[in-house]
Structure 1
Amino acid sequence: MKILDILTQESIIPELKGRTKRQVLEELIDAMLQHKPQMDRERLMGVLLDRERLGSTGIGDGIAIPHGKIKDLDQLILSFGRSTQGVDFESMDGKPVHLFFLLVAPESCAGIHLRALAKIARLLKNNSVRKQLGNVTGKDEIFAVIRQEDEDF
């Protein structure tokens, strides 16, 4: 599986405006709705906030991968956002988060959901990738960085 199998260019936010966890999740959901407008925004927000209550999806190194499962979804979907200023996402290392991937999966497919999470985490654990994503500016450039790294995996 490739990240670009589930991430569209329309679902990329080069500069998040939100300064709180909820605001960032709202923006990432809205980006996702560009591709899947039939999704229930409020239900998805509830699922994501429930998951965050179990423990932050801020995994450290300026990365967060909020995720959840939704009934009646037919495929994995992904959005990406970047905050150059950083957002307090209650990350494991206590540092602000700059790079966000929001992953939503069908309720019935745990295996592929976990593989996608692992793939995203591996990609973002690479310091060079994080720096590149922090330095580029537009959707096209962000998409190109992800595409290049996606092919290298």
Structure 2
Amino acid sequence: MVHDSKMSDFITNDNIIVGMNARSREEAIKQLSNILHKNGIINDAEAFNQDVLAREKQSTTGIGNNIAIPHGKSSSVNIPSFIFAKNSSLLEWDSLDGSKVDIIFLMAIQEKDERNEHLKMLADISERLMDDQFVESIKKENNAQKLLEIFTEQ
């Protein structure tokens, strides 16, 4: 499957967070919204946070294997992007397989997403997550720069 966008188009070193200390799904999303705001990806952390939580209510984004891919489609998003976080403890996430989550890919999607960037981003992330070696390497690695290299290698 060939995509015209790659994971590397949507991630930077600033948006890789290792050792986050959230105690709940809500707290994790709030902390990540604040970082996206600080990094200029979004212009309103509170609005984006609400949009992500609203999306979570529709259906769980916990895809199993301790991984979640929450996303917010929001007018507060400046640049389509995602932030990757490893939480220091496992969080309850209503995952499909009942597993708790400590690996989070939070996607920030523009409300007027004419080019369907989020589908490309989601397809790319999902495709990579089907690769056991990729999953194993992101679970083991705790250095942001090395994680970025894992994400950007094709």
Per the normalisation by structure 2, the TM-score is 0.88
The runs of at least 4 aligned residues of structure 1 exceeding 2 Å deviation read 72-75
Residue in 2 that maps onto 1:85: 89
Q: Give 3-state SS (helix, strand or coil) of 1:7's partner.
A: coil
Number of residues paired by the alignment?
149
Partner Cα distance (1:12, 1:115) in 2: 20
Residue in 1 that maps onto 2:53: 49
Structure 1 position 4 matched with structure 2 position 13? no
Structure 1 position 121 matched with structure 2 position 118? no
Q: What CA deviation, in whole Å up to 9, does each residue of 1:38-78 have, x standing for no partner?
A: 61111011101100000111111221111011125343121
Q: 1:38 to 1:124 in 2, by over 3 A?
A: closer
Q: What CA deviation, in whole Å up to 9, does each residue of 1:93-134 have, x standing for no partner?
A: 110112111111111116221121111111122221111111
Q: 1:37 to 1:108 in 2, by over 3 A?
A: closer
Structure 1 position 20 matched with structure 2 position 24? yes
Structure 1 position 134 matched with structure 2 position 139? yes
Q: Give 3-state SS (helix, strand or coil) of 2:19's partner.
A: coil
What root-mean-square deviation, in Å, do the aligned CA atoms of Structure 1 and Structure 2 show? 1.7
- CA shift for structure 1 position 29: 1.4
Residue in 1 that maps onto 2:65: 61
2:42–2:79 contact (8 Å) kept in structure 1: no
Residue in 2 that maps onto 1:144: 149
Q: 1:33 to 1:2 in 2, by over 3 A?
A: same
Partner Cα distance (2:41, 2:103) in 1: 24
Per the normalisation by structure 1, the TM-score is 0.89
